[in-house]
Structure formats: structure tokens, C-alpha cells
Amino acid sequence: MLGTQSGEGSSAAPAVVSCWSVDQNRQHLRLFQRTRMFLNISCRLILIRLDCSVYWTTPNLWAAAAGFDDEQWKAQFRVSRATFDHLLQLIGPAIKRRKTNYRVPIEPRRRLAITMWWLARSGEYRSIADMFGVGIATVCTIVRQVSSAIVERLFHRFVSLPSGPRLDAALQAFKDRCYPQCAGVIGGTHIPIAPPRNNPDHYINRSGWHSVILQAVVDHDVCFTDVYAGWPGSSSSATVLSSSDLYLKRSLLSDGVEIPVHLIGDASFPLKPWLMKGYVEEQQLSPEQRRFSYTLSSARSAVDVAFARLKGRWRCLLKKSDIDISMVPRVVAACCVLHNICELRGDSFLPEWNVDMAPSDNYLTQPDVEPYAGDTYCTAEKSKIVQSFSLETHFFQTWK
């Protein structure tokens, strides 16, 4: 009996000790986790309360920017200091972040500078982070937030189809170039992108590289008056046009006068009462028709100039970017807004920005224009349309 009791007591003792050891281990683990969390928070608070320039070891561009003269500033940020300050006034409140107990926010001026530098060069995020004394992930976030703020706050203010005095000025300017009743020039260009995860083949253009299409209307001052971006590079100009808001606004361009107000475009666009293009070169053309096509082509050069300045100033549109495909149209729109602000403020486009714009190989060569082929309306009936517009008579009077 005693032996039995003794046996039971000896077997229970190790069980009690084992449970006690498990509890002790759990308590030690909790204490360790709490201590580590406390140390992490303490270190984070110490670092955040310090200015980035204090503990960042790499010399950064932003520290030197305060001493830049106007020429150096424009070379780095692609706009004059005055234009930069003006832009900061317009969107500063939208990109400002609140100070909290856990972080001191990056000031709006540096946030705008980071975005402008990235748009101008599309450099590696690590390099930009070093130059501005911020983290790599912070650069990505800032570019996305500031680009969105530019579009949301400024797009409709600086990008709109002309009306009233602006329309009158555009009509007169194109008339002075021997082309009547033209409200603007429509064109398209391809923006290179990294192959997207979903349906990458849809984004391969006629030159064999991945892109999205930017369709834009440009006025006589090479400012964008309508911007539509994001369609896959394999899409035709006619498809992009028919899906754009511009197609829905076409009634605004036809006012019932003898020669309706219209846009002009290249051979890739369909002929419409509100969209005129030249005759096909392969056709047997009269001298008058050739002269008409030549003048239309000369007037249409405004969109080529606008695209060249847009990409020359904002080089991110010349390179494949690793930003998400859903963000590309917003970045493109932001660049168009900034382009217009520069043009309207007389912020000059420097000749050296055109240097090395031509691609080094055929990889980034813009696809050739594919004439719109699904429309006999553009050939047999074109002379009737021109006559109904009384365009030929007015054109020759102006030409003389």
C-alpha cells in the first residue's frame, strides 16, 4: 500500500516540474518579445526625430540644391525655380503630410523635387533615395502620390479643348498657316512599359516592344488640349479614338458653319466630318489635292513638336518603367500637365534635351503609321466631303 502510494508520488513529481518549466519558458518568451518591441519602437522614434541629413551617410542632391543657381536648378528638375515654386503653391497642400509621434513627414518641397527628378530621368529608386536622403520605398510612394495630386488638382485646369477666345485664337493661328477652321491636331505616340503580368502580348506594338498608347490633341501653341492614355500598344488609332471621351465630344467641333471646326490627323485616323486628314499618297492626285495634303501635313507638325518636347523634358516616357501598369496613364497625364504649365509660363525647352532622344537601336523606334484601311469613305467619298465643306475653295483663296 505504501509502495503504491510512493509510486504514484514519484510519477506525479516530474509532471509538475515539467508544467512549471513550460510556464517559465512562456514567460521568458513574452518578456523577450516585449523587450524587443520596446527597443524597436525606441530606436525608431530616435531615428525619426532626427533629420534625414543627420544620419544619412551618402552626400545627397537635395542638400546641395539650396545653393543651385537658376541654370543648375533647371538642369536637374527640368523647370525653372519660379515654375517649381508656382507648382508647389498649386499642389503643396495636397502633398503635405501630418506630423505624428512616429514620424516627421518629408516636406512638400522635397516630395515635389523627388517626383520631378524621377519624371525627368526615371532613374533607379535606390539612386534617387540616396540623392534625396529618403528610403527606397518612400521614393515609390512619393512619385505615386505627387503624380496623382498633379492629375487630380491640375488636369482639368490646364488640359481642355479650346472654346471662346481660346478657340478663336487657335482658328486664326492655323488659318495663318494656310489651313482654315482647324481647332487642333490629333496624334498618337507609344510609351514604353515593362511587360505586364496580364495579357502581355496585347501590349506589343508593330515595332515589337511593349507599350501603351498616348492619344493627344495639340493646339497651335503645342499645348495639350485633350489627353487619353493607357490602351495596349497593339491597338489601332481608330480603336483608341472611338473609345475616348474626345469621340463623345465630337459634337462640340461641328457648329454648322460652311466649314465646320475640326481636327486634323494622320492617315491612321478615320475620316470624319470633325476630323480631316490628307489624301493617300498612292492615289492619283490633282495639283490642288497635293497642295491640300501638303498644307495639312505642315499644320499637323504641331503634334510632333509637342510629343518631342514632352518626352525630351520628361524622359520617364522614353524608358521602360517598373511602375504598375495601372499607374502609367496617370504618370503620362501628369507629364502632359507639367508640359502645358511650362509652355504657358514660357519656361523654355533647352536644345540639349533633344540630344540622344533618338533610340540607339530599333527596339524603341516608334511604329510606322498604319493607314486606316476599313473605310472607303476616306477615298471615293473624300472629294465630296471636301466640297461639302467648301474647303478647297477657301483653301486656295488663303493659299494665294
Structure confidence by residue, pLDDT tens digits, 147-201: 999 999 999 999 999 999 999 999 999 989 878 889 999 999 999 999 999 999 9
* 3-state SS, residue 385: helix
Distance from C-alpha of 234 to C-alpha of 231, rounded to nearest angstrom: 8
Q: Stretch 265-291: mean pLDDT, rounded?
A: 82
Strand arrangement of the beta sheet that strand 224-232 belongs to:
224-232, 211-218, 182-192, 262-264, 275-276
Mean pLDDT across the chain, nearest whole number?
81
* 3-state SS, residue 213: strand
Per-residue confidence (pLDDT) for residue 8, from 0 to 100: 46
CA 12, chain centre distance (Å): 74
Structure confidence by residue, pLDDT tens digits, 8-38: 444 555 555 555 565 667 777 777 777 777 6
For the chain, which residues make up each domain, given as ranges? 61-157, 159-399
Structure confidence by residue, pLDDT tens digits, 299-338: 999 999 999 999 999 999 998 888 899 999 999 999 999 9
Between 280 and 351, the higher pLDDT residue? 351
Per-residue confidence (pLDDT) for residue 58, from 0 to 100: 43
Per-residue confidence (pLDDT) for residue 67, from 0 to 100: 84
Per-residue confidence (pLDDT) for residue 259, from 0 to 100: 62
Return the number of other C-beta atoms located less than 10 Å from residue 132's C-beta.
25
Return the number of other C-beta atoms located less than 10 Å from residue 204's C-beta.
15
Question: Does the pLDDT at position 279 exceed 90?
Answer: no
Distance from C-alpha of 144 to C-alpha of 125, rounded to nearest angstrom: 13
Per-residue confidence (pLDDT) for residue 208, from 0 to 100: 93
Question: Does the pLDDT at position 103 exceed 80?
Answer: no
Question: Does the pLDDT at position 40 exceed 60?
Answer: yes
| Cα angle, residue 200 at apex, residues 196 and 202 outer, rounded to 5° | 130
Q: How confident is the model at residue 48 (pLDDT cuts 50, 70, 90)?
A: very low
Q: How confident is the model at residue 380 (pLDDT cuts 50, 70, 90)?
A: very low
Question: Does the pLDDT at position 53 exceed 80?
Answer: no
Q: Provide, rounded to the nearest whole percent, the portion of the chain with pLDDT above 70.
A: 76
Per-residue confidence (pLDDT) for residue 2, from 0 to 100: 42
Distance from C-alpha of 145 to C-alpha of 114, rounded to nearest angstrom: 11
